[in-house]
Structure 1
Amino acid sequence: MKAFRTLILTLLFFSLTPAALYAKTPDDQLIIGMNMNNLLSLDPAAMTGNEVVGIIANIYDSLVELDPNDLTKVLPAAAESWSVSDDGNVITFNLRKGIKFHSGNPMTAEDFAWSMNRLLHLNMAQATTWKSYGFTADNVQQMIRAKDPQTIEIELPKANDPKLMIYSLATLGSGSILDSKELMKHEKNNDWGNAWLTTNEVGSGPFKLDVWQAKDVLRISRVDDYWRGDAKLKRVIFRHMTESQSLRLMLEKGDIDIASGMSVPDINALKGNPDVEVKEVTKGTLYYVAMSLKNKQFENPKVREAVRYLIDYVGINQTIMPGYGFSHQRPIQKGMDSTLPDPGYTLDVAKAKALLAEAGYPDGFETTLRVLSDQPFINVATSVQSTLAQAGIKAKIMSGTGNQVYGAMRDRNFDMLVGRGGGGVDPHPHSSLRSIAYNPDNSDAARLTNFQGWRTSFYDKQLNEMIDAALLEKDAQKQKQMYADVQNRYDALYPAILPISQMIDSVVLRKDVKDYIPHPSSTTHLREVYKQR
């Protein structure tokens, strides 16, 4: 009996030691906790949202990448070199030899040309940008071609800045190179393999997909003999976690290595923990309030102007956005030479009421406000709902998943929305304007679903022409003034999208995770990440 009591006491002692109190993830695996509600498809042609971009970037190769520490610096990837013709109309990429897809098939220039052809024919979310450059399902095979197995030529369908085209290939994910032979084995009903690729992959990146269980777990594992050298980690596991407190507790315990999407209080609480590190990266993405011009009330510019004065910009940015973003009210991201100073809009209920009366709504009206059920979106929506009510606009909050919120926006079937979007991943003002303000074809059939301007049915012919002209201007000072004129006209039109904040992405990781560099364009590469224990 005495021996038994001794055994129990010994086991109890070891169970209470620090080593047992704290879990420890495997040395060769990275466990990432994140909200996967907006992870809807793994098809690079169909993807939307920042969450999937970081996964696609590690499964697929692109021709080029952007340096995370200097976005103006383009780095070689699957293409070892490239050049632009003297007239700026043709970009030639020289593909590396010896790259293989996960299937074992060799990568060729034809695979890239086929991938872009597929993108335009499917005409899903990621085709939008390329359509704005002038590419269509009818001309893409002529304009994007394989000159030989290692040489790709991209001819611009219309005048453009070739630098912007290269940036887009590096950041959007739509430039991912697909294994055409393998994917076509899974084609059904002329869908270019889209149904199958929603939950599968045909990449050549440092990791391959093992399993994806929606809103649960996604696992990728190291590919042997990757052309850059094998990734340092054997496996990366993404776990669906929506509760910030759970992320914090599991990070503190060591059950996960990295957490994203945490609330500001939990992030601040972890800043004093010697075992973790908080990394913040400024992104060009904007938090905004959007209105649909298909709605009769918001079609009226006086109503849109009134809403502009029914947002508590100061309160939102001081109490809700720290750790998520910082105050910004322009369509071009802050930090660019061409960005104008903020116009300084503030909450002014009396002015808003007067504008609503002029518009014929002295008592306000009822509407709906769609928003993700996650932070900080829901708190921003609650604030906006409260200040709208002060002028008589009764907005019913409709919270939901990314598909329910942004899906309705992509279908142009919403009233108001608190969201986050825009370009800004490219170090070029056109990237921001293209996503927020540009809308070259306002018809429903155009399906420019990746343009926030199209989603809101906001259209101004002159503004589009000004954006096009500024892109092509060669003189830097003239171009800067042209972008200033664009921002001033956008402001004067009482736009459908009202920027509130510019995004800060806070990622929290344990100190033993090394060489994790969060990328401003969300294309965070994990091939060099390792653990030092």
Structure 2
Amino acid sequence: MNKRLGLLTVVILSILFLVACGGNVEKKDSTAKDTLVVAQGADVKSLDPHASNDNPSSRVRVQIYDRLVQLDDNGVPQPMLAESWERPDDTTTIFHLRKGVKFHNGDEMKASDVKFSLERALKAPEIFYIIEGINGIEVLDDYTVKVTTEKPMAALLNNLSNGTIAILSEKATTEAGEGFGQHPIGTGPYKFVSWQSGDKITLEAFPEYWQGTPSIKNVVFKSIVEETNRTIGLETGELDVVYDILGMDKVKLREDERFTFIEEPQLALTYLGFNLKKEPYNNPKVREAISYAIDQKPIIDTVFLGAAEPANSILGKNIFAYYDVEKFTQNIEKAKALMAEAGYPDGFKAKLWVNDNPVRRDTAVILQDQLKQIGIDVAIETLEWGAFLDGTARGEHEMFILGWVNTARDPDMYELVSTSTMGAAGNRSFYSDPEMDKMLAAGKIELDPEKRKEIYKEIQIKIRKDIPMYMIAYPLQNVVTQKNIKNFKLDPAQEHTIFGVVKE
């Protein structure tokens, strides 16, 4: 009896196992065709485009929202939600909107939504500076909006292409209130489904998207801090697309024929920032000493494995008005002399903040070793991405490593060095200089390209002199995909769009 029962149990379990396996395989095949799983190194801070300007958030939001204009591969503004525009004078732009564009809640986008969105962005502490200078937004009819500026704005169209200046539904945003960032609604190719904080965000294709229904039905963005775990996920097939692979994992994946490896330039800068509100970083000689203590080469060779260029300016070489300012070359004796002049002949203890990003952590270790040569004893503190952004916005840090992506592809670096953007808006060095503010204002309104170029040359020279930050590198960017992923294109501003990507 027991033997028969045992045999029967084995048979039943075997059948259940086969059925279960068959069911799982069928489900996996279906999911594989319909779902794209993307991994990046940090979680999103907010899905409200007006609430933050960080890169991990932007990469998800660009799937959910559209802007009035977009930039082509050469950085030239092209139609998006605005199908055309005209400039009757230097301070007026009239936008003609596409008809029939739907929000994810089914409502048609109208000029009133554009007015609401731009006015909301102008009030947002984190991103207002991007379109600061607009002093009038008028609805002429349901599909026409007139935007006026206080003075000429040379980069108006470029700035309106920024992912944070997304067009929102006035009705949906107002109804959601403070919860909009967790339940976003846009006009983009994908609509929001769910967000498991610290784990993943799920999106699904919007069938009424004005450019056509996306070929991939579901997109999942996973937050995986350690790049080795992202690599393992790619190797096991759990992940389809992985951003930002560096170190030995990059070397391994680049040579692996199972995957497609793409590496290209980007509009980014990695820098070491100083909190000028705190001693001793408010002493320019200390900042200069630190700059002369640093050697970029081991950082680029070891951390970036050569996939970066040493930086010298706040602007990258692929940005209009870049000026080749004099680089700091490591000179330990000069650095020590500057430390003595500043009143710190024996050095001091310092704290260096990084977020949980292996590239920045490894960079910090090299800087720690280099600054030790001039008596600065650096303690590295690693924070979760959201805590890092909040803490540096409040000015709780001393030194920090961060990146800046020039999404507008314009020389205006107002975000990083203007008095009015200190804190959350981007100036986490808390650098404030009246002369700099005047130069930035002049650069914004100058329409003559050559005169504008000269203004930004002087700005770059002044930044080199004042040293609110030390420019480390212009890194390349990369993406690794499974072989069956086609048409994936890296965006120079790192706002990679999934629309148009095919999974075979």
TM-score by length of 1: 0.86
Q: Which residue is 2:35 aligned to?
A: 29
Structure 1 distance, partners of 2:160, 2:306, is: 29
Q: Which residue is 1:125 aligned to?
A: 126
Q: Which residue is 1:90 aligned to?
A: 92
Contact residue 23 and residue 255 of structure 1 kept, 8 A: no
Q: Which residue is 2:82 aligned to?
A: 79
AA partner of residue 506 (structure 1): N
Give a deviation string over 1:353-399, Cα, whole Å, max 9, x none: 11011011111111211111212000111111111121111121111
Q: Which residue is 1:269 aligned to?
A: 252
Contact residue 333 and residue 429 of structure 1 kept, 8 A: no
Structure 1 distance, partners of 2:357, 2:379, is: 17
Q: Which residue is 2:442 aligned to?
A: 469
Confirm or deny that 1:434 pairs with 2:414. Answer: yes
Q: Which residue is 1:241 aligned to?
A: 224
Matches within 5 A, 1:433-512: 433-437=413-417, 439-441=418-420, 449-452=424-427, 455-493=428-466, 495-512=467-484
Q: Where do 5+ consecutive residues of structure 2 fail to align?
A: 1-6
* Change beyond 3 A, Cα 1:508–1:498: same
Structure 2 distance, partners of 1:128, 1:468, is: 11
Contact residue 65 and residue 187 of structure 2 kept, 8 A: yes
Q: Which residue is 2:167 aligned to?
A: 177
Structure 2 distance, partners of 1:507, 1:471, is: 34
Give a deviation string over 1:33-81, Cα, whole Å, max 9, x none: 22233x11111110231111121111112111112x3222x22111111
| Matching residue within 130, 135, 149 for 2:142 | 149
Structure 2 distance, partners of 1:271, 1:24, is: 29
| Matching residue within 167, 172, 176 for 2:158 | 167
Structure 2 distance, partners of 1:208, 1:474, is: 38
Give a deviation string over 1:217-266, Cα, whole Å, max 9, x none: 11100112222111111111112212222222221232211011322311
Give a deviation string over 1:168-207, Cα, whole Å, max 9, x none: 111x222211111122223xxxxxx1x2112111212111
Structure 1 distance, partners of 2:157, 2:368, is: 41
Q: SS state of the match for residue 299, structure 1? A: coil
Q: SS state of the match for residue 463, structure 1? A: helix
Q: SS state of the match for residue 467, structure 1? A: helix
AA partner of residue 70 (structure 2): E
| Matching residue within 62, 67, 70 for 1:57 | 62
Structure 1 distance, partners of 2:307, 2:358, is: 9
Deviation at 1:413, TM superposition (A): 2.1
Matches within 5 A, 1:511-530: 511-530=483-502
Structure 2 distance, partners of 1:23, 1:184, is: 41
Structure 2 distance, partners of 1:339, 1:31, is: 37
| Matching residue within 269, 272, 284 for 1:289 | 272
Contact residue 291 and residue 456 of structure 1 kept, 8 A: yes
Identity of aligned residues (%): 27
Structure 2 distance, partners of 1:305, 1:158, is: 37
AA partner of residue 105 (structure 2): S
| Matching residue within 414, 417, 424 for 2:406 | 424
Deviation at 1:342, TM superposition (A): 5.0
AA partner of residue 179 (structure 1): S
Structure 1 distance, partners of 2:139, 2:494, is: 29
AA partner of residue 149 (structure 1): D
AA partner of residue 128 (structure 1): Y
Contact residue 121 and residue 165 of structure 2 kept, 8 A: no
Structure 2 distance, partners of 1:364, 1:320, is: 26
Deviation at 1:324, TM superposition (A): 5.6
Contact residue 24 and residue 255 of structure 1 kept, 8 A: no
AA partner of residue 99 (structure 1): V
Q: SS state of the match for residue 462, structure 1? A: helix
Q: Would you say how many aligned residue pairs link Structure 1 and Structure 2?
A: 486
Structure 1 distance, partners of 2:66, 2:354, is: 33
* Change beyond 3 A, Cα 1:321–1:54: same
| Matching residue within 327, 333, 343 for 1:344 | 327
Deviation at 1:492, TM superposition (A): 1.8
Structure 2 distance, partners of 1:487, 1:415, is: 23
* Change beyond 3 A, Cα 1:183–1:424: closer
Q: Which residue is 2:359 aligned to?
A: 376
Q: Which residue is 2:4 aligned to?
A: none
Q: SS state of the match for residue 27, structure 1? A: helix
| Matching residue within 22, 41, 46 for 1:41 | 46
Structure 2 distance, partners of 1:392, 1:313, is: 19
Contact residue 128 and residue 449 of structure 1 kept, 8 A: no
Runs of 4+ in structure 1 over 4 Å off: 22-25
Give a deviation string over 1:465-518, Cα, whole Å, max 9, x none: 22333444444434333322222222122x111111113221101121111112
Structure 2 distance, partners of 1:237, 1:160, is: 38
Structure 1 distance, partners of 2:447, 2:186, is: 38
Contact residue 328 and residue 342 of structure 1 kept, 8 A: no
Contact residue 133 and residue 153 of structure 2 kept, 8 A: no
* Aligned Cα root-mean-square deviation (Å): 2.5
Of residues 203-212 and 329-338 in structure 1, the stretch that sits farther from structure 2 once superposed is 329-338
Contact residue 312 and residue 346 of structure 1 kept, 8 A: yes
Give a deviation string over 1:147-168, Cα, whole Å, max 9, x none: 111011110122321xx11111
* Change beyond 3 A, Cα 1:323–1:257: farther
Q: Which residue is 1:190 aligned to?
A: none
Q: Which residue is 1:189 aligned to?
A: none
* Change beyond 3 A, Cα 1:420–1:235: same
Matches within 5 A, 1:356-395: 356-395=339-378
Give a deviation string over 1:6-47, Cα, whole Å, max 9, x none: xx9xx99xx9xxx99x9996112111122233x111111102
Confirm or deny that 1:257 pairs with 2:240. Answer: yes
Contact residue 514 and residue 530 of structure 1 kept, 8 A: yes
* Change beyond 3 A, Cα 1:128–1:479: closer
Deviation at 1:323, TM superposition (A): 6.5
* Change beyond 3 A, Cα 1:326–1:385: same
Q: Which residue is 1:134 aligned to?
A: 133
Of residues 463-472 and 174-183 in structure 1, the stretch that sits farther from structure 2 once superposed is 463-472
Deviation at 1:448, TM superposition (A): 5.7
Structure 2 distance, partners of 1:335, 1:99, is: 34
Give a deviation string over 1:78-99, Cα, whole Å, max 9, x none: 11111122x3111111111111
TM-score by length of 2: 0.90
Q: Where do 5+ consecutive residues of structure 1 fail to align?
A: 187-192
Q: Which residue is 1:401 aligned to?
A: 384
